[in-house]
Amino acid sequence: MQLEHLVAVNDPSNDLVLTRAELWKGLLIRAECPDVFMPHVDHVEIIERSSLHLLRKMIIGAMHIQDRIHLVHEQHLRYDTEPSEQHGGGTLLMQIEEPETGMLFVRFHYQTPQDDQGEEEEYAKFLKAAWQQNDVETIKKIRELAAEGSLAIKS
């Protein structure tokens, strides 16, 4: 199953304009502290950390998820989720796009081994809608963090 969509970061009708660095910092916070973005996350542990990747374990209810998150500074994050008994695994790419200076977008691309046809079609529709809503909420939360000053870049 695949899903790709684009979410605008800067809204022309809003005076708060995020920089690429602030957006990147917000996306990193989402990787390191997903509970800030998703209140249903019970526990997060960063097992490994470097400038190029994070290895993260996350518990949501009875589900245990392990992700390797590849980082390309201010360009993209790629989450590779390991398959388990509770989770089919998959990949999520969050890519920053800036077609014009200050015009920021995040392209979300999901790929999972699940089938989105036949018996799984209704579940796939539900899952894709949930992903899209979660991604819109992610950008909304990043904008809230920026408005609070939590994404200010120190020189």
**CATH classification of the domain holding 114:** 3.30.530.20
Whether the predicted model's global pTM rises above the 0.85 cut: yes
Please report the pLDDT score of residue 72 as a whole number.
98
Mean local confidence (pLDDT), 27-33: 97
Q: Is residue 64 part of a domain?
A: no
Q: Is residue 78 part of a domain?
A: yes
Q: Is residue 50 part of a domain?
A: no
Q: Is residue 130 part of a domain?
A: yes
Structural domain span for residue 93 = 2-33+72-148
Per-residue pLDDT reduced to its tens digit, 102-142: 899 999 999 998 777 777 788 888 989 999 999 999 999 99
Q: How many domains does the chain have?
A: 1
Please report the pLDDT score of residue 45 as a whole number.
97
Q: Is residue 39 part of a domain?
A: no
Q: Is residue 23 part of a domain?
A: yes
Task: Using the predicted structure, report yes or no on whether residue 155 has a pLDDT greater than 70.
Answer: no
Q: How confident is the model at residue 37 (pLDDT cuts 50, 70, 90)?
A: very high
Q: Is residue 61 part of a domain?
A: no
Q: Which amino acid type is present at position 57?
A: K
Task: Using the predicted structure, report yes or no on whether residue 86 has a pLDDT greater than 80.
Answer: no
Q: Is residue 155 part of a domain?
A: no
Q: Are strands 76-81 and 90-100 parallel, antiparallel or unpaired?
A: antiparallel
**Residue 25 structure tokens:** 């910092």
